[in-house]
Amino acid sequence: MNEIKKQTNFEINQVISQPYKYGFKTDIEREGFPVGINENIIRLISEKKKEPTFLLNYRLKAYKKWLQMKTPQWANLEINPINYQDITYYSVPKQKEKLNSLNEVDPEILKTFEKLGISLDEQKKLSNVAIDAVFDSVSIATTFKEKLGKSGVIFCSISEAIEEYPELIKKFLGSVVSAGDNFFASLNSAVFSDGSFCYVPKNVICPLELSTYFRINDKDAGQFERTLIIAEKNSTVNYLEGCTAPQYSENQLHAAIVELIAFENAKIKYSTVQNWYSGDEKGVGGIYNFVTKRGLCIGKNSNISWTQVETGSSITWKYPSCILLGQGSSGEFYSVALTNYYQQADTGTKMIHLGKETKSKIISKGISCGFSKNAYRGLVKIGSNASYSRNYSQCDSFLLGASSVASTYPYLDIWNSTAIVEHEATVSKISEEQLFYLLQRGINTEQAISLMISGFCKDVFTMLPMEFASEADKLLALKLEGTVG
């Protein structure tokens, strides 16, 4: 290699070596449970949260199912065995039982969120986003509740919803992802601690973007959050989710469930920027991100749209899906997954067409660097009653460096001959000629690669809300690694 080439490779490697900037931890007195999982722990969680009996029974039922299940092995992932008795299932910062205002929140925690760029002080923050901040197992604060309340929108932590709106919880919790859905979903159903709840009534267009920020702080705690969003007839809601965690050399488990329900003509747009700690350059540490996300388009012409930018976590196992039941309903999945070092991602979607004239669209962009593995796994199912349904799928992979792996596993399951299903897939690399062209115009290596990657991801980034789009762009620029040619 000559000097310039060495220099270029060096610079590309520099682009990546940016350390994880959210890796700090907050030292705080916390109230944890004994480690491990058993019926007693589940009863304790439920009691701690003053839950009604139906919920305790739901948890216990899920736990029993979970005990009979095995870790799924079908994904293209190498997972070190997880000892579920080493995990703390409930960990909350020590504080007063009930917080009346932000002033009562531990200043250390507020500082943590400030450091993450999430201000919970309503005076200072983005004026068009309401935020629910979740720290380990508990929701710390939800902003703009009053303003939302005026339009009838309920946005609060799921714990609060269980206390205040038990009838909604009883009706909808577990109605999309059942307690026995899969191994990690059952575990979540048994031990979920907190998360966000949102209810948008009939004919209401939610006046603010809703957002939850998840932070895992505790070293031994798993985060098992639960999100439930219900959009009634003719309503619309946009929801954003962000995640970070400190840098620990142990793996931490994150097994969440998100359920969305859209009634007639309702629209739910759910966007995620996932930046959990991904482990170090040797693959030590990082979050195991095993998440079940599913939306049910129950009403006619309803719409659910998932957009995700997955850059963090040591292992990601996640398939945000849509069940298209209502006639003419539609589902979308836009995804960018970037893996670096020894990260592994097996992610994609399931589009289950059950109603007539249902439509779905899948755009997936995978970027693999270092020794990482990045797989797209997607199922398009057209049921026998789903006449004249359509799907379009496009899966593009981008390889940076020669040691990474990208795979695509598209599954089709078609039971109706009037369906139209299209699938396109490409694999590309940054060519030396492209890079040289940009360099010749005075654009440096770092910028050139960012430019090409953001060009590659453009179809997905344009689906993100403004506040997230530039953030996602920056995030990718920070995480890039690779060698050219």
Angle between helices 445-456 and 466-479 (to 10 degrees): 130
User: Least Å distance between CB 460 and other proteins?
Assistant: 10
Binds other proteins by CB under 8 A, chosen from 82, 405, 443, 478: 443
Compose the 4-23 pattern: x for residues touching other proteins by CB under 8 A, - for all others. xx-xx---------------
Residue found by looking up tokens 């007639």 in the block? 264
User: Least Å distance between CB 476 and other proteins?
Assistant: 13
Residues 392-431 that bind other proteins (CB under 8 A): 428, 431
CA–CA gap between residue 62 and residue 64 (Å, rounded): 5
Compose the 349-368 pattern: x for residues touching other proteins by CB under 8 A, - for all others. --------------------
User: What is the number of alpha carbons within 13 Å of residue 464 lying toward its C-beta?
Assistant: 24
Binds other proteins by CB under 8 A, chosen from 47, 388, 455, 466: 455
Binds other proteins by CB under 8 A, chosen from 76, 95, 175, 447: 447
* Whole-Å CA distances, 393 to 54, 95, 162, 353: 41, 48, 38, 14
457 binds other proteins (CB under 8 A): yes
User: Least Å distance between CB 477 and other proteins?
Assistant: 13
Q: In sequence order, what are the residues at sequence separation of 6 or more whose Cβ sits closer than 8 angstroms to the Cβ of residue 123?
A: none
Find, among 339, 250, 334, the residue nearest to 288 by Cα. 250
Binds other proteins by CB under 8 A, chosen from 454, 465, 477, 483: 454
Binds other proteins by CB under 8 A, chosen from 35, 451, 477, 478: 451
Contact 314, 341 (CB under 8 A): no
Binds other proteins by CB under 8 A, chosen from 287, 452, 469, 480: 452
Find, among 350, 307, 301, 310, the residue nearest to 330 by Cα. 301
User: Least Å distance between CB 321 and other proteins?
Assistant: 27
Question: 84 or 436: whose CB is closer to other proteins?
Answer: 436
Question: 157 or 397: whose CB is closer to other proteins?
Answer: 397
Binding segment (CB under 8 A) for other proteins, from list 138-146, 189-197, 415-423, 454-462: 454-462
Find, among 123, 141, 224, the residue nearest to 131 by Cα. 141
Binding segment (CB under 8 A) for other proteins, from list 68-76, 294-302, 405-413, 437-445: 437-445
CA–CA gap between residue 453 and residue 446 (Å, rounded): 11
Contact 449, 478 (CB under 8 A): no
H or E segment and range at residue 185: helix 183-191
Residue type, 311: T
Binds other proteins by CB under 8 A, chosen from 145, 459, 467, 483: 459
441 binds other proteins (CB under 8 A): yes
CA–CA gap between residue 477 and residue 287 (Å, rounded): 21
Binding segment (CB under 8 A) for other proteins, from list 3-11, 51-59, 238-246, 374-382: 3-11
Q: In sequence order, what are the residues at sequence separation of 6 or more whose Cβ sits closer than 8 angstroms to the Cβ of residue 192?
A: 158, 224, 225, 226, 257
Question: 205 or 466: whose CB is closer to other proteins?
Answer: 466
Could you tell me whether strands 390-399 and 420-429 are parallel, antiparallel, or unpaired per DSSP bridges?
parallel
H or E segment and range at residue 454: helix 445-456
Could you tell me whether strands 196-200 and 154-157 are parallel, antiparallel, or unpaired per DSSP bridges?
antiparallel
437 binds other proteins (CB under 8 A): yes
Residue type, 188: N
Query: Buried b / exposed e across 270-304, counting CB within 10 Å, b at 16+?
Result: bbbbbbbbbbbeebebbbbbbbbbbbbbbbbbbbb
Question: 146 or 433: whose CB is closer to other proteins?
Answer: 433
Question: 114 or 459: whose CB is closer to other proteins?
Answer: 459
Question: 95 or 454: whose CB is closer to other proteins?
Answer: 454
**How many Å from the N-terminal Cα to the C-terminal Cα in the chain?**
12
What does the CA dihedral 150, 153, 155, 161 come to, rounded to 10 degrees? 110
User: Least Å distance between CB 461 and other proteins?
Assistant: 9
User: Least Å distance between CB 402 and other proteins?
Assistant: 17
User: Least Å distance between CB 310 and other proteins?
Assistant: 19
Binds other proteins by CB under 8 A, chosen from 21, 444, 470, 474: 444
Binding segment (CB under 8 A) for other proteins, from list 223-231, 244-252, 434-442, 473-481: 434-442
Binds other proteins by CB under 8 A, chosen from 199, 270, 276, 456: 456
CA–CA gap between residue 305 and residue 320 (Å, rounded): 10
DSSP 360: E
Q: In sequence order, what are the residues at sequence separation of 6 or more whose Cβ sits closer than 8 angstroms to the Cβ of residue 77?
A: 315, 317, 344, 346, 373
Binding segment (CB under 8 A) for other proteins, from list 36-44, 79-87, 412-420, 446-454: 446-454
Binds other proteins by CB under 8 A, chosen from 233, 436, 478, 483: 436
477 binds other proteins (CB under 8 A): no
User: What is the number of alpha carbons within 13 Å of residue 113 lying toward its C-beta?
Assistant: 27
Question: 266 or 336: whose CB is closer to other proteins?
Answer: 336
Binds other proteins by CB under 8 A, chosen from 95, 175, 434, 483: 434
Query: How many residues in the shown chain lie near other proteins by CB under 8 A?
Result: 29
Note the residues at the interface with other proteins (CB under 8 A). 2, 4-5, 7-8, 428, 431-434, 436-445, 447, 451-452, 454-459
